[in-house]
Amino acid sequence: MNRGVEWSVHVLLSLAWLEDDRPVPTAELASSFELPVAYLNKQLQALVRAGLLRSVPGAHGGFLLAKRPEDITLMDVVAAIEGRETAFQCTEIRRQGMGQDAPRSAFRRKCAIDAAMQQAEAQWRRALAAQTIADIRAEVDGYAPSAARLARKAYGRA
């Protein structure tokens, strides 16, 4: 998984702490995490295309949450940044090399490795779909109550 997923979740969490509808410019979001502006902007645009963020153009533009934090799952973020492709792609390597001369009947069943990987990924996707930005916000608020204040201060909302 690329860093864009982590960066995106942090940005969404920070925006969830803001208490107004003023957009936050890309440069401010990038600066608050010391991230490269151009690369972060690509992630933000992917979140806009996925309907998780709203982009506001203009001199006072930037980004806002497009949905309530309760309605944005970690799976939504992963899908927006990484795509919806499955992580494991079986290439039927078992039919090559030592399996090359095996009878067709040896391959009637689905590859056990592919089946195991697909099952694990389905569980992973369900777990991500069960966690929202609001859940993460609540957890962070519990062990680091100053995080929300720091986010509001970083974006001029203090």
The domain segmentation of the chain, as residue ranges, is: 3-154
* C-beta of residue 89 within 8 angstroms of C-beta of residue 83: no
- Looking at residue 63, its pLDDT comes to 97
* C-beta of residue 49 within 8 angstroms of C-beta of residue 10: no
12, pLDDT greater than 90: yes
CA angle centred on 149, ends 130 and 146, rounded to 5°: 75
Classify domain 3-154 at the CATH topology level.
Answer: Arc Repressor Mutant, subunit A (1.10.10)
pLDDT tens, position by position, 20-34: 889 999 999 999 999
DSSP, collapsed to helix, strand or coil, labels residue 154 as helix
- Looking at residue 144, its pLDDT comes to 96
10, pLDDT greater than 90: yes
d(CA 1, CA 12): 18
